């Protein structure tokens, strides 16, 4: 408390206090001082009129640290000396209070909080009265208070008693009032004073629990009133303790010791309280009185005896009686003993002022995982507090106010501007009743990025707060911050979940799904849209490269496929974005143990019936942001339409149980170290029903160092040889050469185990061969797909094959290999040739030009489908089919060799250059000269190299191919320095690089016959080049349409480069190659007019218009007729 100075006019005299508006001076304390004068040291506020009339007074400057403490000590001594040397007359008390014995109350769990804040009192302006009139007014007030009536309730229903002392109204002075305004103000002021006197004279006694200690002279009590418990802030009357954290941010000397003295004495204990006075109205009320411990110790007296508070002496009082005198004598004894704030030890005074720091940098590193003792200063939420951490470093004590969050538990939150979450208030009250202003044992577990919020284990009175909150159902377990106490905290949460306490009362995840007797497993659903909480049976269809699981389940009479994710775990992915440790470059590859994870799920679940628990369903918007440009909107109507159709997609999280023992898939993956646990940071986030078991299994896997928890250098390597070919010319030859190297192994082995990785078509698959650790393309021999234009038939055939063999273990027998490295043969699933199943169902037909003769079983399967008129044979007529075959074989050799515009001849495509350029050979012609050439070339190849032979560009030579055979070739490029040549094999059209040692001079006899293969172009069709967008797609489609097939060609005309322009037709499948490229949006029709072929051009134009309207491939952005990249060179 600051000491008020005397006026300058009389420096040696002690001035009396200005007249007070409140009639009773003894009861007023510094805590009730109005806020209008925060720097006043006296207990009552002066009337404003008196303040104006009085001379100016000098306010003492507040010094810092030692000077401040010394001045405070001196000021207190002067005050006590002046006040206590006055004449003190002991007078008898004029009131009698009858107080019945209060009833003890128990510690409340949930309280109703009443905010009690000091109400600002104002005194109306008035003319300063003279001294004699002022003394007369005070005497009149004192005389008016002549009788005291004590009221005791007839029924003792509460634990407190109320003593009411009516006060006679104070007469209003009528003299020295200059005008009516002054009169009104004077009357209003007196009425307010009378009301305040009535309130202050109400005495309440009872028992309460001390909830908090705000300072050395202020506590918060929990008082039971009827069926509710209310909070009341009680300030000790007649004394003042030093202040904590004043406006300058520094404690007054011994402020912290005073507060800690009271806190250690009363916190959490039951005390007897007496409320002697109160100020304020409604809920903003401050209560004044004192408290006693159960042994009778008066806390106010204990503070004074230890020199941790001072007595409030009314300024104009010359007589101290009763309580005031007793308190003053205790304070004098402490001053004489020089204890507490009266000490003369300057070092003790300096150390009593806390050094507070808000810089928490390095704090976590210094105290991580160490037990430290703190004081919980404020409970923000049930799981977040503010504490005082004291650090003694190099004999310098520093206090840090830090924010702590419970590790492993999160309570409902208070949201700014919104209603608090359910049970948020109850969780906060639960912690306040047990931990507020208590000493706690703290173990820091982690800190946030800014190091200003710490996650810790907090133990109060031997109880782990996180564990107790979880048991009570007032918090949820969060793994990411509670990894160090998994077992304890998960068991605590399970207690609340089992008993469905509070936040788990309506939580779907608290249902005990382990008890299968209480779960209804549905075999068929009513809707394909999965809902949270559904339990049903499904078949496992596939395991994707990104860890999703494809399931198939019944909806009514149909099957529905969905891709789902395992809840609460992250499985290893075969396709993930990784970073090279050395170069730090990102690349797409397989995560460690991804292949083992996929194989575990595949071998145990693929094709089997399992039980699926839907844990959560999250909808998300997959629509890309659209450009607001009108032109873009006009050019992309189909693209936007497709996006709108995919707007409402969902991510389904499930738990899966399989086999008779109901093994949990996620739990198995965790146990083998094939997956990681998901640390649900949001406690309200849905999770797997056995999440606690998953956490325990994850901890065991970490301890045992299995799977991903082992040493990285011990992780298995997954390096697979890819033998599939690609359409681009740069890597294609290498892929073909690599595939041909493996052919010898498969040819020598009667059968090989494989896994179907991908189903590209009814007869075309991608297989993984574990023994050779390679992936290859495999084609079924003797059968072929027909009617590709029938999309429904193609999709049904694809689905049939996927259901039979996708991601299953199969057995293959390789019979041959085509020129691009694809392997051809038989594929068996469960000891049955899949080709027989396709033939029986009418999805495929036998080839007419077999590489190996079909056996009787294949023929019988096809005949069975024909008789049943299944699918491709639904319009089968034996007579019509025989006639069609006869007509195709009637073409004579002379007619096929004639080069006319309307000529039809059979061809086989041997090389793809671009989407509309290729090399082909004419079939059914006399091949005897070429057979002779082939034999001579092999002989020539075995001859010695002619060192003087240097072939020129354009010269015909014999060159060795990667299959170790010699063929005629033409030099396209020569490099004399490296002696390497780029050649084109003229009888097939493909290009390769050869060395000088693999080139021989070709004789005229072998060079004279015309090349078997000729470069041709699809008539009236233009496709993108390979370097342009969709160029590779066009070349791939052409390859799939023409390779390994006997086609019918018609030579319509020659282009400006003399190349034949053909139409190609697949008679067996009734396909026009030219039309399909246009139909698929991978080619455009030339802008030309030709009356001879008007019908063909019209048909192609119609297909082009349909592709444009569908906005597929090259037409995805609308018309683009001016694109010069499509002009054929």
Q: Which residues pair with 368 in a beta bridge?
A: 444
Q: Return contacts of 365-373, CB within 8 angstroms, 24+ apart.
A: 366/391, 367/444, 368/444, 368/445, 369/443, 369/444, 369/445, 370/443, 370/444, 371/441, 371/442, 371/443, 372/441, 372/442, 372/443, 372/444, 373/439, 373/440, 373/441, 373/442
The pLDDT mean for the chain works out to: 76
* Dihedrals phi, psi of 476, to nearest 5 degrees: -115, 145
What end-to-end distance do the CA atoms of the chain give, in Å? 100
Instruction: Please name the helix (run of DSSP H) or strand (run of DSSP E) that holds residue 745, with its range, or none.
Output: helix 729-748
Determine which helix (DSSP H) or strand (DSSP E) holds 407, and give its type and residue range: none
DSSP class of residue 239 equals: E
φ and ψ at residue 700, rounded to 5 degrees: -65, -40
| CA 353/CA 872 separation, integer angstroms | 96
Q: Are 1053 and 1059 in contact (CB under 8 A)?
A: no
With a cut of 60, say whether residue 18 has pLDDT above it: no
**pLDDT tens digit string along 493-547?**
889 988 999 998 876 554 444 444 456 788 888 888 999 889 999 999 999 988 8
Q: How many CB atoms lie within 10 A of CB 872?
A: 21
SS3 895: helix
Q: 739 — phi, psi (to 5°)?
A: -65, -40
Question: For residues 736 and 113, which has the higher predicted lDDT (pLDDT)?
Answer: 736
- pLDDT tens-digit profile of 359-388? 888 888 899 999 999 999 999 999 999 999
Ramachandran angles phi, psi of 794, nearest 5°: -65, -40
**What's the CA gap between 697 and 691, in Å, rounded?**
10
How many Cβ atoms from other residues are within 10 Å of residue 737's Cβ?
14
Choice between 1034 and 636, residue whose per-residue pLDDT is larger: 1034
C-alpha–C-alpha distance, residues 373 and 361, integer Å: 19
Mean pLDDT of 1101-1106: 89
CA 551 – CA 540 distance, rounded (Å): 5
Mean pLDDT, rounded, for 458-484: 91
pTM comes to 0.52
Q: Residue 23: CB partners within 8 Å, gap ≥ 6?
A: 138, 141, 167, 170, 193, 197
Mean pLDDT of 1055-1080: 87
Joined tokens for residue 22:
């409140």
Closest CA to 689 of 610, 614, 618: 614
Q: Closest by alpha carbon to 913, among 766, 811, 1008, 1025? A: 1025
**984 Cβ contact list (under 8 Å, min separation 6):** 969, 970, 972, 990, 991
Strand 270-281 versus strand 203-215 pairing type: antiparallel
CA distances for 1077 relative to 1026, 1110, 1128, angstroms: 15, 14, 16
pLDDT of residue 976: 77
How many CB atoms sit inside 10 A of residue 240's CB? Answer: 22
Q: How far apart are CA 567 and CA 615, in angstroms?
A: 7
Give the pLDDT confidence of 669-699 residue by residue, as tens digits: 999 999 999 988 777 788 888 888 888 899 8
Q: What does the pLDDT average to over 130-152?
A: 41
- Torsion angle in degrees (nearest 10) through CA of 897, 901, 906, 908: 110
Q: What is the pLDDT of residues 75-130, one digit of tens each?
A: 344 344 333 333 333 333 333 333 333 333 333 333 333 333 333 333 333 334 44
Distance between CA atoms of 100 and 158, rounded to whole angstroms? 11
Q: What is the pLDDT of residue 560?
A: 92
pLDDT of residue 416: 84
């Amino acid at each position: 408390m600051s000491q008020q100075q005397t006026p300058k006019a009389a420096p040696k005299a002690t001035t009396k206090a200005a007249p007070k508006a409140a009639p009773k001076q003894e009861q007023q304390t510094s805590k009730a001082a109005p806020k209008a004068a925060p720097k006043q040291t006296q207990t009552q506020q002066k009337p404003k009129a008196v303040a104006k009339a009085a001379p100016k007074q000098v306010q003492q400057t507040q010094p810092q640290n030692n000077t401040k403490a010394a001045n405070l000590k001196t000021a207190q001594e002067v005050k006590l000396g002046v006040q206590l040397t006055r004449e003190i007359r002991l007078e008898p008390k004029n009131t009698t209070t009858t107080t019945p014995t209060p009833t003890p109350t128990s510690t409340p769990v949930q309280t109703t909080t009443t905010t009690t804040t000091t109400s600002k009192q104002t005194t109306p302006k008035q003319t300063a009265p003279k001294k004699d009139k002022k003394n007369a007014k005070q005497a009149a007030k004192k005389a008016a208070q002549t009788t005291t009536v004590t009221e005791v309730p007839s029924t003792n229903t509460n634990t407190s008693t109320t003593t009411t002392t009516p006060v006679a109204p104070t007469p209003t002075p009528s003299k020295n009032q200059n005008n009516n305004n002054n009169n009104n103000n004077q009357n209003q002021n007196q009425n307010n004073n009378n009301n305040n006197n009535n309130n202050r004279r109400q005495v309440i006694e009872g028992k309460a629990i001390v909830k908090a200690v705000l300072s050395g002279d202020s506590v918060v009590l929990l008082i039971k009133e009827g069926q509710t418990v209310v909070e009341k802030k009680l300030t000790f009357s007649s004394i003042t303790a030093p202040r904590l954290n004043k406006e300058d941010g520094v404690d007054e000397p011994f402020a912290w010791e005073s507060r800690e003295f009271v806190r250690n004495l009363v916190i959490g204990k039951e005390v007897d309280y007496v409320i002697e006075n109160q100020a304020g109205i409604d809920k903003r009320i401050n209560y004044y009185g004192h408290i006693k411990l159960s042994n009778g110790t008066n806390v106010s007296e204990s503070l004074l005896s230890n020199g941790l508070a001072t007595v409030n002496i009314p300024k104009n009082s010359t007589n101290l009686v009763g309580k005031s005198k007793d308190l003053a004598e205790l304070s004098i004894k402490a001053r004489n003993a020089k204890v507490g704030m009266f000490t003369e030890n300057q070092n003790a005074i300096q150390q009593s002022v806390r050094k507070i720091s808000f810089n928490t940098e390095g704090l976590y590193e210094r105290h991580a995982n160490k037990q430290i003792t703190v004081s919980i200063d404020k409970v923000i939420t049930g799981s977040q507090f503010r504490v005082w951490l004291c650090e003694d470093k190099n004999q310098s004590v520093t206090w840090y106010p830090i924010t702590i969050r419970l590790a492993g538990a999160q309570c409902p939150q208070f949201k700014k501007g919104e209603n608090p979450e359910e049970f948020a208030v109850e969780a906060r009250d639960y912690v306040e009743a047990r931990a507020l202003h208590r000493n706690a044992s703290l173990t820091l577990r982690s800190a946030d990025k800014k190091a200003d919020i710490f996650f810790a284990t907090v133990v109060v009175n031997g109880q782990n707060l996180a564990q107790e909150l979880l048991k009570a159902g007032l918090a949820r377990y969060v793994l990411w911050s509670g990894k160090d106490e998994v077992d304890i905290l998960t068991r605590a949460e399970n207690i609340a979940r089992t008993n469905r306490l509070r936040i788990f009362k309506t939580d779907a995840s608290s249902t005990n799904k382990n008890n299968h007797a209480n779960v209804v497993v549905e075999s068929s659903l009513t809707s394909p849209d999965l809902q949270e909480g559904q339990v049903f049976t499904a078949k496992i269809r596939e395991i994707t490269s990104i860890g999703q699981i494809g399931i198939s389940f019944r909806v009514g009479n149909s099957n529905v496929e969905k891709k789902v994710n395992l809840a609460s775990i992250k499985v290893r992915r075969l396709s993930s974005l990784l970073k090279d440790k050395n170069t730090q470059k990102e690349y797409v590859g397989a995560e460690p143990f991804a292949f083992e994870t996929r194989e575990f799920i595949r071998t145990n679940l693929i094709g089997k019936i399992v039980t699926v628990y839907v844990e959560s369903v999250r909808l998300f918007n997959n629509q890309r942001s659209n450009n607001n440009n009108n032109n873009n909107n006009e050019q992309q109507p189909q693209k936007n339409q497709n996006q709108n159709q995919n707007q409402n997609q969902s991510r389904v999280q499930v738990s899966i149980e399989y086999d008779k023992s109901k093994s949990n898939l996620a739990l198995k993956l965790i146990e083998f170290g094939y997956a990681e646990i998901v640390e649900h940071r949001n406690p309200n986030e849905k999770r797997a029903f056995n999440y606690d078991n998953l956490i325990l299994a994850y901890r065991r896997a970490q301890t045992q160092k299995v799977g991903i928890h082992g040493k990285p250098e011990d992780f298995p390597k997954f390096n697979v040889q890819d033998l599939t070919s690609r359409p681009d010319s740069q890597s294609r030859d290498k892929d073909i050469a690599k595939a041909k190297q493996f052919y010898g192994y498969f040819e020598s082995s009667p059968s090989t185990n494989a896994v179907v990785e991908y189903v590209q078509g009814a007869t075309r698959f991608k297989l993984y061969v574990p023994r050779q650790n390679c992936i290859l393309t495999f084609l079924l021999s003797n059968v072929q797909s027909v009617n590709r234009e029938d999309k429904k038939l193609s999709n049904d055939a694809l689905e049939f094959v996927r259901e039979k063999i996708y991601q299953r273990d199969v057995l293959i027998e390789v019979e041959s290999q085509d020129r691009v490295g694809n392997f051809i043969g038989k594929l068996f699933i469960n000891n049955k040739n899949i080709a027989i199943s396709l033939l029986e169902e009418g999805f495929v037909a036998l080839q007419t030009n077999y590489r190996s003769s079909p056996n009787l079983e294949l023929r019988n399967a096809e005949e069975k489908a024909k008789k049943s008129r299944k699918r491709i044979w639904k319009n089968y007529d034996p007579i019509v089919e025989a006639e069609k075959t006869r007509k195709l074989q009637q073409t004579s050799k002379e007619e096929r060799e004639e080069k006319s515009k309307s000529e039809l001849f059979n061809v086989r495509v041997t090389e793809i250059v671009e989407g509309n350029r290729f090399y082909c050979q004419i079939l059914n012609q006399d091949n005897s000269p070429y057979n002779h050439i082939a034999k001579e070339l092999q002989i020539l190849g075995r001859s010695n190299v002619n060192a003087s032979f240097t072939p020129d560009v354009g010269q015909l030579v014999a060159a060795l191919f990667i299959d170790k055979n010699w063929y005629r070739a033409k030099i396209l490029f020569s490099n004399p320095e490296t002696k390497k040549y780029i050649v084109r094999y003229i009888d097939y059209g493909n290009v390769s690089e050869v060395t000088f040692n693999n080139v021989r001079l070709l004789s005229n006899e072998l060079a004279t016959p015309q090349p078997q293969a000729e470069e041709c172009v699809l008539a009236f069709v233009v496709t993108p080049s390979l370097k342009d967008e969709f160029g590779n797609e066009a070349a791939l489609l052409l390859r799939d349409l023409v390779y390994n097939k006997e086609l019918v060609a018609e030579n319509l005309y020659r282009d400006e480069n003399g190349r034949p322009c053909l139409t190609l037709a697949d008679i067996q499948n009734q396909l026009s190659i030219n039309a399909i490229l246009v139909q698929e949006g991978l080619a455009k029709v030339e802008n030309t007019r030709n009356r001879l072929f008007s019908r063909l051009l019209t048909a192609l134009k119609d297909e082009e218009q349909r592709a444009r309207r569908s906005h597929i491939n090259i037409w995805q952005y609308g018309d683009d007729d001016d694109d010069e990249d499509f002009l054929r060179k």
